[in-house]
Amino acid sequence: DDVLAYAGLAAADILIGANALPDDDPRNKVYPGEFNYGGGHVIEELVAGKDVRLEATAYGTDCYPRKRLETWINIKDLNEAVLFNIRNAYQNYNVAANTSDKTIYTYMGVLRANLGNINYCSAGQLSPLLNDPYYQTIGIGTKIFLGGGIGFVAWHGTQHNPNVPRTEKGVPKRGAGALCVIGDLKQMHPKWLVGTSMLGYGCTVTVGIGVPIPILSEEILRYTTVTDAEIFSAIVDYSDAYPNLKPDILGEVSYAQLKRGKIKLQGKEVPTASLSSYLKG
């Protein structure tokens, strides 16, 4: 479907990135870019059972002589289709704000000028790694719900950093752990895996993840009773501090406050919105 995929794996294997774009997409040359169709959308169409157009070229060898192929593929005809996400289920994350006098477009969504809105992405008390803050039951090989099918934790996710400030109950107050996960794409469902366009930023794929936490001790039980009122995160200015790598924050806020739909910041009421679906969770 004109979205670039990559070879260089094993013969006849290809990789498509959720952020990949067609060559003719204008990106942010027409600002803000709409990013209407990319790798995440291709993956969603495969999961939905739709036919996807494939164009491939190669230099040809004695055992693989074909140099060009144009065809349609369907997930049911593929020997294997695997989803591999290198960073999922972030253990807490920034709360995004914008103090500048212009609207900005980020991976945290559209942020309106002069603290016009605030976006956050963690599910709070439903987030798996916030219910097992020291990873006592979650690790390599943990069987998980992934995109409507079965997946596994493969490794720690990129940018995994457990060494952050924590509350007395061990809950991280900043972005901390992350999971690298893998699963059978053939089992997945478009209800739980959706190609997503982020205005002015790019495209990606939104995936549902669930992690079982066995209650093996009273300590683990206590961790799983965490509430939104006990989980705090930093409000970060994405117009200044974030792009300029400054450590400054605008304050801290609990998820209980965020989920009320508005918070008070710098003397004004600011509407809040989540990038995670609490309803589906």
Residues labelled as active-site residues: 63
How far apart are the two ends of the chain, measured CA to CA in Å?
32
Cα gap 168→171, rounded to integer Å: 7
Cis peptide bond N-terminal to 172, omega within 30: no
To 5 degrees, how large is the angle CA 247–CA 253–CA 256? 150
Distance of CA 155 to the CA centre of its chain: 16
- Paired with 225 in beta bridges are none
On whether the CB atoms of residues 83 and 148 are closer than 8 A, the answer is: no
> Do 239 and 100 form a contact (C-beta atoms < 8 A)?
yes
Distance CA 23, CA 148 (A): 31
* φ/ψ (deg, to 5) at 90: -50, 135
Q: Tell me the DSSP string of 138-171.
A: --TT-EEEETTEEEEEEEEPTT----S-B-TT--
